[in-house]
Amino acid sequence: METSKTAAENGVSFEIIFVGRSNVGKSSLLRELFGAKVRVGRRPGVTLRPRHAQASDLLITDMPGFGFMSGVKDRKQDIVKDQTVRYIEKNAERIKIGVLVIDGPAFPQIVDRWDLRDQIPVDVEMFDFLREVGIDTIVVSNKMDKVNENEYDPLLDEIAVRLGLEPPWKNWKHIIAPISAKKGDLKAIKGLLRDRLHEMKRDDLFKYV
């Protein structure tokens, strides 16, 4: 796939965006899924503007990570989040799939910390926003290799609850995809992406997933 730092939007009619907190493995996941040569680093907030990969009329977009970004002032972080929202609103018609990537093991605690401050967690806010603007949304629970087998389902149930989805999580397998990008275990997200593409009569895009 061709990649660039600026939008390669000529002839684009089908976009998949990846959103999530900084350092949840979003860019690494995109690279594993699509072979896109996106910049990946350990420092949170490496991506500060949308990065794109295009194939045919398909555009894959890696949105800037929201939340804490090392070496980036709070005001800049707010600007990045606002730009992300504006980008999604502007391109909602062509954005067919939104993939929200979360750090699965840390997600319940992160959400609870925000709740204690009487604030809506930014991950939950983004999940609700994507669905409100009519974008088919998948939640990728990454880093599941860190979870013991007996804690796997209970954790995913907790994630579902914090997203406002009634547990058990298995009722939401069409929305929640547990994976480990680091271990190359991407079966769940690949399956959901292919399901979505098939439902949208875009089997021709299978070769890119």
The string of pLDDT tens digits covering residues 174-203 is: 999 999 999 999 999 999 999 999 999 999
Matching residue, tokens 């959103």: 19
Percent of the chain with pLDDT over 70: 83
Nearest to 83 by CA among 97, 61, 64: 64
Compute φ and ψ for 137, nearest 5 degrees: -115, 135
pLDDT of residue 67: 66
Q: How far apart are CA 24 and CA 39, in angstroms?
A: 14
The string of pLDDT tens digits covering residues 29-74 is: 988 888 754 444 444 444 567 888 888 899 999 998 876 544 445 5
Six-digit token pair at 202?
Answer: 């875009």
Preceding amide of 168 cis, omega within 30 = yes
Q: In whole numbers, what is the pLDDT of the chain averaged over residues?
A: 86
